Amino acid sequence: MEANIIHLATVTSTQDVARAMTARSVGTVIIADAQEKGRGRWGHVWLSPRGGLYMSIIMRSDPLLSLRAGIAVAHALQRLGIDARLKWPNDVLVKGKKIAGILIEASGGTAIVGIGVNIESVPLAGSTCIAAEAGRIIARDDLVLSIVQEMDTSYLEDILKTYRKLCATIGKDVAITMGNEKVSGLVVDVDEGGHLLLKTAEELRIISSGECAHLDVHSSADTGKQDRLR
Ligand code: BTN
């Protein structure tokens, strides 16, 4: 992707800036130093003080974009020596703590991929940041280039295979909130459409969208859950 990178100071949300441009701007990346109304998935606020990365990439829609974006950010953080993993679909975690989030807003064949990464500080208790995990401050713009490059590379990869390796949700007991419905169970896999395969007490469910919470803190390898997946 030929990236046209636009740096701004403070904006409401880089998603809003990108949305005003989409008709002509596939490949454009908007970066802001801070956001006054940063937004997350499911109507959450994304606190956006200076010292973090706030970027939106304008792209063509693609059914696996959500997984690809997660892979790109996780790989960019791994390049810094950080053991980044994914909580379905694309929250980026380090040892169970959130370090980055992704919001995709799509319409008419165009998708705005919004990415927020905690670099210098932790705006929300219980999260983590690059400074804490890598023990150093990194250059925000190098991280942007690394993420954009990884988004390109992901077209060449076996997305599902790569995603499964990074996904900390597979093998976990989870609770999924879908509007007023809440369903719990064991995640047995993610399918080729990026859906979660959830084994509840009653049935195997295919979940295409929902807010996912991990119910245990140990990895599947630690808890022997892998056995229950077979
Ligand atoms: C989430 O984990 O809920 C997604 C967070 C996405 C935050 C980014 S920061 C850049 C872009 N602008 C926004 O307002 N949100 C996204």
Q: Which residue ranges make up each domain of the chain?
A: 4-166, 173-223
Angle between helix 65-78 and 159-166 (nearest 10) = 60
Ligand 1 pocket residues where CB is under 6 Å: 13-15, 35, 38-41, 44, 46, 54-56, 91, 101-103, 114-116
Pocket test for ligand 1, best of 8, 10, 12, 15 (most atoms within 8 A of CB): 15
The residue type at 199: K
Q: pLDDT (tens digit, 9 = 90+) per residue, 91-140?
A: 999 999 999 999 999 998 999 999 999 999 999 999 999 999 999 989 99
The second-level CATH assignment, the architecture, of 173-223 is Roll (2.30)
CATH, domain range 4-166: 3.30.930.10
Separation CA 36–CA 46 (nearest Å): 9
Cβ atoms of 178 and 207 within 8 Å: the answer is yes
What pLDDT score was predicted for residue 1? Answer: 63
What pLDDT score was predicted for residue 218? Answer: 47
pLDDT value at 55 more than 50: yes
